[in-house]
Amino acid sequence: EIKAELIDLAKKSNVDANFLDRFPNSKMPNIYQKYSVYILCSKYEGNPKTLLEAMSCGLAVIGTDIPGISSIISNGQNGLLVPEDAVELQIAIQSLISDVALCNTLGDTAREYILKNNSLEHAVPEEYAVYQQLIN
């Protein structure tokens, strides 16, 4: 609804931003893989699926240090956590832009984390165990 306003704000602020239109979920991996960094600046999150998707595509991730995000990102290991502060976010972004090795390492460990903890092979046995407990 406010796309035109956001485009105008980006131009006025001299920010190089790419605003995407809607597209099918099946195209999400292709979109994610065009980028090297994913940022999720939320004040509230439950189980942020977009964060998990970006990590599974090997992106270095930055997220605000809030419940939901901080339960997934281990700061400095599989991503970066920042407080709800624009300056801290800018510092984190700059650190990934200026250090390609760090960006690649965080992206690789993010993908490993997802494969280990959130893959279908991991989720199905866990869910099966819950059903077994309920039955017994």
- The pLDDT assigned to 73 comes to 98
| Residue-level pLDDT at 120 | 82
Degrees, nearest 5: CA angle 73-2-35: 40
Q: From first to last of its 136 residues, what are the pLDDT tens digits of the chain? A: 899 999 999 999 998 888 888 889 999 999 999 999 999 999 999 989 999 999 999 999 999 999 999 999 999 999 999 999 999 999 999 999 999 999 999 999 999 999 999 888 887 888 889 899 999 8
d(C-alpha 79, C-alpha 107), whole Å? 8
Q: Positive or negative, the Cα torsion across 118, 82, 46, 129?
A: positive
At 18 the pLDDT is 86
pLDDT at 26: 93
Q: How far apart are CA 56 and CA 80, in angstroms?
A: 16
Q: What is the pLDDT of residue 44?
A: 93
21, amino acid identity: D
**Residue 35 carries which side chain, given as an amino acid letter?**
Y
Q: What local confidence, expressed as pLDDT, does residue 119 receive?
A: 82
In total, the chain counts a number of residues equal to 136
